[in-house]
């Protein structure tokens, strides 16, 4: 039995297939917005693309100027689909679209029509890509663009953030991913970081990593608290390096989950160097550093026009007078921009004293943000002159980020919540200056 040609209410579902168009002739009729959306994916296939249209959008014109497509600046004419394997008909000329569609039917060229899906012989699925996987969604009973796009988005997002896990069945290369987990809120890990976490066999996690994500891991994943690795005769970092190497050499996919960014006071390079020396492949996944994200979550911009044109991030894990300190505190005190201190709660008194001794005003505003981006986030304000006793009185504890500079007063606490809600659909998100 031969199925009738597609018509309204056609009970026959479309047959999904992946077209391999590299080097094959594809004809696009019309150079408007539809072509602008569809052409990049066609170009990516390596197809030999001919655009037939008297005019085109600036973006489509740029594709032609770059040599990605050939543009014939004229209306459609009979015979344009000769030897074409695939056609996209998307002009504003209804009569030309109908004529081109009729030619496609005669020449048995699969044809998509933007103005009349029922008259087409092919439909364009809603597509998305994630790590080598192409997701293409069609709805039964005819195109339903909103639903197909919603289904596509749900699948792609799940693959990207690891909530939809599709195990790899090809042999994986053993190795380690150094993943920056962000400042603490599990939603602030990168998409790639979350996906690698979902695919891991072993996760070695820091105390400051996004711990809530560990509960989402499948039961077979071995989770190791880096703080509890037996150190024995090794230094703590050396023991962690050895654990990474041991599990990777056993053929496991290992994720080293770190707080913030692996290379911002995270000793990530030490781990990468140890892995390189052992011949273990290493992937570095950057994370959102707490040095900028935590102040931002508390309503403090680290830079602001007319206030601060620079910001400096400093580790406060050793005091200024400590011979191990690599910070030139005299030079730092002379800077006019923002200072962001990490790991400095216990030594903020000594740091404030050094800054004022070297010339920074005692009235310089200071904000301490404890457990930034988390539900328990709180902000404590002071000045360089008062920050030590204020931190003691308020019982401030690590982890906390300390911001020093006039930017602290750009958005005073009374002007709004310290942790403002996320923008809604009608509310634009803030942009970097």
The pLDDT of residue 270 is 96
The pLDDT of residue 427 is 38
- Taking alpha carbons only, the member of 296, 305, 331 closest to residue 406 is 305
The pLDDT of residue 259 is 93
25-44 residue pLDDT tens: 999 999 999 999 889 989 99
Instruction: Give domain 291-415's CATH superfamily.
Output: Tetrapyrrole methylase, C-terminal domain (3.30.950.10)
Q: What's the pTM value of the predicted model, to 2 decimals?
A: 0.65
- For residue 214, whether the previous peptide bond is cis, meaning omega lies within 30 degrees of 0, is no
Count of CB atoms within 10 A of residue 226's CB? 20
339-387 residue pLDDT tens: 999 999 999 999 999 999 999 999 999 999 999 999 899 999 999 999 9
The pLDDT of residue 276 is 96
Distance CA 218, CA 282 (A): 23
Does pLDDT of 7 surpass 60?
no
Count of CB atoms within 10 A of residue 380's CB? 19
Q: Tell me, which fold does domain 25-124 have in CATH? A: Rossmann fold (3.40.50)
Range in 144-148, 211-215, 296-300, 301-305 the model is least confident about: 144-148
- 3 state DSSP class of 390: helix
Q: What is the number of residues in the chain?
A: 433
Q: Residue 366 phi/psi, 5° resolution? A: -135, 140
Does pLDDT of 430 surpass 60?
no
List C-alpha distances in Å: 168 to 200, 240, 253, 343: 11, 27, 11, 39
- 3 state DSSP class of 258: strand
Residue 153 pLDDT grade (very low, low, confident, very high; cuts 50, 70, 90) = confident
Across the chain, mean pLDDT equals: 87
Categorise residue 94: left if φ over 0, alpha if ψ from -120 to 50, beta otherwise: alpha
Q: Which two tokens stand for residue 387?
A: 């920050």
Number of H helices, E strands in the chain: 11, 17
Average pLDDT estimate for 73-99? 95
Residue 126 pLDDT grade (very low, low, confident, very high; cuts 50, 70, 90) = confident
Distance CA 190, CA 287 (A): 7
Burial (0-12, 13-18, 19+ Cβ within 10 Å), 104:
buried
Q: Which residue has the tokens 């364009």?
A: 124
Does pLDDT of 286 surpass 80?
yes
List C-alpha distances in Å: 231 to 239, 266, 273, 415: 6, 19, 20, 49
Q: What angle do CA 129, 200, 213 make, to 5 degrees?
A: 85
Average pLDDT estimate for 86-104? 95
Distance CA 74, CA 91 (A): 12
**Cβ within 8 Å of residue 429, ≥6 positions away:** 423
The pLDDT of residue 345 is 96
Are residues 101 and 119 in contact, defined by beta-carbon separation less than 8 angstroms? yes
Does pLDDT of 327 surpass 60?
yes
173-225 residue pLDDT tens: 679 999 999 999 999 999 899 889 988 999 999 887 787 888 878 888 999 98
Residue 8 pLDDT grade (very low, low, confident, very high; cuts 50, 70, 90) = very low
| Residue scoring higher pLDDT (133 or 410) | 410
175-285 CATH:
3.40.1010.10
The pLDDT of residue 140 is 66
């Amino acid at each position: 039995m031969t199925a009738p040609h597609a018509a309204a209410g056609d009970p026959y579902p479309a047959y999904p297939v992946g077209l391999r168009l590299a080097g094959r002739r594809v004809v696009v009729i019309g150079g408007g917005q539809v072509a602008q959306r569809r052409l990049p994916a066609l170009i990516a296939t390596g197809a030999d693309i001919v655009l037939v249209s008297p005019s085109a959008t600036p973006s489509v014109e740029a594709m032609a100027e770059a040599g990605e497509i050939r543009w014939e600046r004229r209306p459609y004419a009979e015979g344009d689909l000769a030897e074409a394997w695939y056609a996209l008909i998307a002009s504003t000329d209804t009569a030309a679209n109908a004529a081109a569609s009729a030619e496609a039917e005669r020449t048995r060229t699969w044809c998509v029509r933007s103005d009349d899906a029922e008259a087409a012989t092919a439909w364009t699925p809603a597509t998305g890509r994630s790590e080598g996987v192409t997701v293409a969604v069609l709805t039964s009973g005819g195109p339903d663009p909103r639903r197909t796009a919603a289904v596509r988005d749900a699948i792609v997002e799940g693959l990207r953030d690891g909530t939809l896990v599709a195990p790899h069945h090809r042999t994986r290369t053993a190795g380690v991913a150094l993943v920056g987990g962000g400042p603490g809120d599990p939603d602030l890990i990168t998409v790639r970081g979350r996906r690698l976490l979902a695919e891991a066999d072993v996760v070695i996690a820091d105390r400051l990593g996004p711990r809530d994500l560990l509960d989402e891991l499948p039961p077979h994943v071995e989770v190791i608290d880096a703080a509890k690795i037996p150190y024995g005769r090794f230094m703590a970092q050396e023991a962690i390096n050895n654990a990474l190497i041991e599990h990777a050499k056993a053929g496991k996919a290992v994720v080293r989950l770190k707080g913030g960014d692996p290379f911002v006071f995270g000793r990530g390079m030490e781990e990468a160097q140890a892995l390189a020396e052992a011949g273990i492949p290493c992937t570095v996944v950057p994370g959102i550093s707490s040095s900028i994200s935590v102040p931002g979550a508390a309503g403090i911009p680290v830079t602001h026009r007319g206030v601060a044109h620079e910001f400096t991030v400093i580790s406060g894990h050793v005091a200024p007078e400590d011979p191990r300190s690599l910070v030139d505190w005299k030079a730092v005190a002379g800077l006019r921009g923002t200072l962001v201190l990490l790991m400095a709660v216990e030594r903020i008194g000594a740091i404030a004293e050094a800054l004022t001794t070297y010339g920074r005003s005692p009235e310089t505003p200071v904000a301490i943000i404890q457990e930034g981006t988390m539900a328990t986030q709180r902000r404590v304000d002071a000045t360089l002159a008062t920050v030590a006793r204020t931190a003691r009185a308020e019982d401030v504890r690590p982890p906390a980020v300390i911001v020093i500079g006039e930017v602290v007063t750009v958005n005073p606490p009374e002007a709004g919540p310290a942790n403002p809600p996320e923008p809604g659909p009608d509310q634009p998100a803030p942009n970097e200056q």
